Amino acid sequence: MIGDLFDSPWKIAIIAILIIVLFGSRKLPGAARSLGQSMRILKKEMTSLHEDESDAPPAPVTVTEPTPAQLQAAAPADPAAAPAAPDAQAQIAALQSQLNNLQQTVGANGTTATDSQQAR
């Protein structure tokens, strides 16, 4: 259907007249000028993009594998045997005591934690 649209010069003239009537003869030169400027800007940016790609060759990527000695030094022999930091042990003990206090408070009041949160 669209291929048959431009096969006759009369059809092209009718479409041109419709465009002029719809958009007005005063606005068409300005629209054509701005379209031309946009096309020039796009063309210039595309050529500069291609020049930037061709100027900078990609940097080679080097991958170094760790030696067996480095792997042994990085990983402890037994992860469970590694002692936790004293600060971490103190934090765990403090959190455990807070948890115990909360459980005792909930048990003494006879309510669950969700009941007390809903009451607020």
The answer to whether the pTM exceeds 0.85 is: no
First to last CA, the chain: 71
Q: How far is CA 8 from CA 5, 11, 15, in A?
A: 7, 5, 11
Q: DSSP strand E in the chain: where?
A: none
- Neighbouring C-beta atoms of residue 28, cutoff 10 Å: 13
Q: What does DSSP assign to residue 37?
A: H
Exposed e or buried b for every residue in 49-84, given b needs 16+ CB within 10 A? eeeeeeeeeeeeeeeeeeeeeeeeeeeeeeeeeeee
The domain spans of the chain are 9-55
pLDDT tens for the 120 residues of the chain, in order: 566 767 788 888 898 888 888 888 788 888 889 989 999 999 999 998 888 777 666 666 666 666 666 666 665 555 555 555 678 888 888 889 988 888 888 877 776 555 555 554
